[in-house]
């Protein structure tokens, strides 16, 4: 089995969407970690310092939404690449962490994979 490349964290409370993203990124050769909410995501980031990019839905139940998660994660790990997505919330660029990318749902999986690769190359 080939060695997986960079670790990517996928955060979404919808299991089918999360699984679809995990499968697509895994097929692209990434080492994918998934989480159903912000608390699981923060625990994963602490346990896996090799996570380089986090893709998170914005609207999630729990202690914080994806936008708040992005800010907390970036403060703890300044080099973490961040991609946010939502079909209902459209944050301004100044509301998101610096250099974060945003996708409107429904998004194109090929575009998401390209954004992950772009963040890894910076």
Q: What is the pLDDT along the chain (122 residues), one digit of tens a residue?
A: 455 678 999 999 999 999 999 999 999 999 999 999 999 999 999 999 999 999 999 999 889 999 999 999 999 999 999 999 999 989 988 999 999 999 999 999 899 999 999 999 87
Q: What pTM, to 2 d.p., does this model score?
A: 0.93
Domain ranges in the chain are 7-107
- Closest by CA to 71, choosing from 47, 41, 50, 48, is 41
The CATH code of domain 7-107 reads 3.40.50.2300
Q: Rounded CA gap, 21 and 1, in Å?
A: 21
d(CA 35, CA 33): 7
Q: CA dist 58 to 8, 67, 70, 85, 122, Å?
A: 17, 6, 9, 6, 24
């Amino acid at each position: 089995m080939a060695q997986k490349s960079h670790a990517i964290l996928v955060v979404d409370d919808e299991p089918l969407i999360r699984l679809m993203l995990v499968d697509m990124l895994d097929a692209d050769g990434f080492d994918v970690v998934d989480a159903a909410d912000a608390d699981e995501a923060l625990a994963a980031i602490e346990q896996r310092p090799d996570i380089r990019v986090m893709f998170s839905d914005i609207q999630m139940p729990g202690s914080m939404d994806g936008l708040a998660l992005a800010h907390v994660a970036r403060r703890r790990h300044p080099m973490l690449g961040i991609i946010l997505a939502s079909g209902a919330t459209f944050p301004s660029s100044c509301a998101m962490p610096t250099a974060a990318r945003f996708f409107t749902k429904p998004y194109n999986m090929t575009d998401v994979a390209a954004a992950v690769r772009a963040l890894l190359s910076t």
